[in-house]
Amino acid sequence: MAKLVDSKETIAVLQKTNFQFKKQFGQNFLIDSSVLEHILSFSEINKDDLIIEIGPGIGTLTEALCERAGFVVAIEIDDKLIPILEENLSAKDNFKLIHGDALKVDYLSLLEEHKEFSSVKVVANLPYYITTPILMDLLEKKLPLKSITVMVQKEVALRMKAAPGTKDYGALSLAVQYYSEPSIVQEVPPHCFIPRPNVSSSVIHLRLHKKAPVSVQDPALLFKTIKFSFMQRRKTLVNALASGFHLDKKQLQDLLSSLSYPENVRGETLSLADFSLISDGIREILSR
């Protein structure tokens, strides 16, 4: 089993290569081996798995992933980290490094290259500045992923897991929960990273749904309905949707009334199932 790099070894590698952290890439390298072990354990990795890692840093997590998985593909955007990763993982014959932007990778082609693996999982300490775009990109592409286990800012994890009526609940909560079942695995304090971030972090595990948890006629319209409902949280749902869709308020009030929702209902109190009903009703209005 690969030995997880500790803080002294990480610092030694960075000093040896004269590596300079780049703020624009949101680089905070995890140096707590117990947290890494927790990530690995909760990901339930085995030799049937193809693992996609985004933002591998110097390869601390990557090496351990290679020991457990069938194959690991790591995507790194920073030019300066490429030679470090190539050197640290040169002995791994089940590893591929992609030098590029994770938001521009052709994941379907990547999966086709490794179609011999029965299970695909994402495991990563995500760069915080693009956490939400990366996660939504992976989810919206409807890739055949089994799970996503990632380190994110604590507040983002809380938003993904939030329930209706709570302060953290919003469009991100609904989008993530449409595609997956989120579980917060562990809270991780700033001292577990180098350099230390200004915020606490959390490991969150998303187990992807095999089938959407709600039935809706037009998923794209559902997400548009959710988006408009949370763009101006102080507005009632009627006013928010009337503004977003440019619809007559009376039509929307009649729709909500027919679904037994009060006239002053707000988006933050509604579940994914509620939004699916409202979205289907808006679809009927728009088709008239």
Q: pTM for this one?
A: 0.90
Average pLDDT of adjacent 10-residue blocks, the chain of 288 residues: 52 62 64 89 95 92 95 94 92 96 95 95 90 95 96 96 96 98 95 85 96 96 97 91 96 97 95 98 94
Residue 162 φ then ψ, to 5° = -60, 150
- Please tell me the predicted confidence (pLDDT) of residue 170: 96
193-203 per-position pLDDT tens digit:
877 888 899 99
Give 90: exposed, middle or buried? Use CB within 10 Å, 0-12, 13-18, 19+. Answer: exposed
Q: Alpha carbon of 201 to those of 52, 159, 183, 186, 279: distances in Å?
A: 21, 13, 14, 9, 34
- Residue set of the binding site for S-adenosyl-L-methionine: 28, 30, 55, 76, 101, 125
- Please tell me the predicted confidence (pLDDT) of residue 3: 44
**CATH, domain range 7-208:** 3.40.50.150
**What span, in angstroms and rounded, lies between the C-alpha atoms of 161 and 115?**
31
What's the chain's length in residues? 288
Domain boundaries, the chain: 7-208, 219-287
**CATH, domain range 219-287:** 1.10.8.100
- Please tell me the predicted confidence (pLDDT) of residue 195: 78
Element (H, E) at 272: helix 272-287
Which residue in this structure is represented by tokens 């997880």?
A: 4
Residues 6+ apart with CB under 8 A from 212: 178, 179, 219
Radius of gyration of the chain (CA): 21
- Residue set of the binding site: 28, 30, 55, 76, 101, 125
Diameter of the chain measured on Cα atoms: 68
The answer to whether 33 and 4 are in contact (CB under 8 A) is: yes
The answer to whether 153 and 190 are in contact (CB under 8 A) is: no
Which residue in this structure is represented by tokens 């089940």?
A: 94
